[in-house]
Structure 1
Amino acid sequence: MIGNGLTSLPQYIERIANLLSRFPASLTQLALRFAVAVPFFRSGLTKWDGFAHLSDSAVYLFAEEFRLHLFGFELSYPAPQVMAFLSGTGEIILPVLLILGLATRFSAVGILIMTAIIQLTIPDGWANFHLPWAAMAFAVMTYGPGRVSLDHLIIRAFAPMSDPQS
């Protein structure tokens, strides 16, 4: 009796695994897009004091606080005003594009580049923040936005009609 239950355990595990594999990939892709977009967007909101007005604190951070950690040295950011503007702009635009699923793979590459720069600025955050962000951005870049996206709608709208005979 016990032996019979143990031999069927792999079958139950396989059934459950098959059931889990039927979860729509597009929902997973949507969740990944949101998960990586939210922290960047929230950070971007802190860098602006209204439409197109960069906050003084954002510029201060890049001028006085943030340092690039390269080859054992701490280097000041070049052009802190420009860096604050680029950071604030990227942290607003790229997450919005990710959530909409528009230019998704390119937006994920942008988030990946920003994550690398953040890693060079705050090296201690790699395990809790930067590694998960990079993994999610890599997944979105690799697997695309999924069906719940503007990219998918655009591709469907402009793709040549398939021949009904084939």
Structure 2
Amino acid sequence: MALAQSTARLVAPVIRWLDSVSPLIDFTVRFWVANVFWKSGIAALHDWQSTLDLFTYEFKVPLLAPQAAAILGTGVELFFPVLLVIGLATRFSAASLFIFNIIAVISYPGLGEAGLKDHVYWGILLMVTLLHGPGKISLDHFIRRKWMKS
């Protein structure tokens, strides 16, 4: 019993520290993955003709015409990252980007091994947010505390 108590005394400060930095880590994960999609959306807007060409000749998005896929894809890349960063509708935003990420992998046959690894990494980060939630540094947390006190 003494060993368990000694171990608990040693571990307790580490656990308290981890609990205190957890909200910052949650925010960092959301910001990191949102930044990837945001930059892609900005790049798509910056050279719209190239974006249309990519969706016409490279990306094979199922069920959508290339122009519709380009508009929808760029919209997703610009809208949901903002929600993810501010932590509003966070789980829905993470789920939307997760599905978008899967569609991107399926739609681009020339992705390659390095590109696939990136998409897997982003998918894991989105899954962490989807399953864990937004954390305390989020509008969702504020709304929950302010108006849903049950």
Match of 1:126 in 2: 116
One-letter identity of the residue aligned with 2:21: P
Q: Which residue of 2 aligns with 1:34?
A: 31
Structure 2 spans left out of the alignment, 5+ residues: 1-6
Q: Partner amino acid for 1:126?
A: L
Identity of matched residues, %: 34
Output the amino acid matched with 2:49. D
TM-score w.r.t. the length of structure 2 is 0.81
Which structure dedicates a bigger proportion of its chain to strand? 1
- Report what 2:141 is aligned to: 152
Select 1:142's aligned residue among 118, 131, 134.
131
The one of 47, 50, 54 equivalent to 1:57 is 50
Cα distance in 1 for residues equivalent to 2:27 and 2:19: 16
CA positional deviation for 1:132: 0.8
- Aligned-residue offset at 1:19: 6.2
Give CA-to-partner distance per residue, 1:42-64, whole Å, 9 cap, x none.
00001215xxxx81111110001
Match of 1:5 in 2: none
Equivalence for 1:46: 43
Structure 1 ranges of 4+ moved more than 6 A: none
Aligned residue pairs, count: 138
Say which structure is richer in helix: 2
Structure 2 counterpart of 1:4? none
Report the 3-state secondary structure (helix = DSSP H, G, I; strand = E; otherwise coil) of the residue aligned with 2:45. Answer: coil
CA deviations on 1:95-129 (whole Å, 9 max, x unpaired) are: 000001000000000110111012112253222x0
Q: For structure 1, list consecutive stretches of 5 or more residues without a partner in the other structure.
A: 1-10, 69-75
Alignment partners' CA distance in 2, 1:145 and 1:19? 20
CA shift, 1:20, in A, is 5.4
TM-score scaled to structure 1, two decimals?
0.73
- Offset, 1:17: 5.1
- Asked which structure has the greater CA Rg, the reply is 1
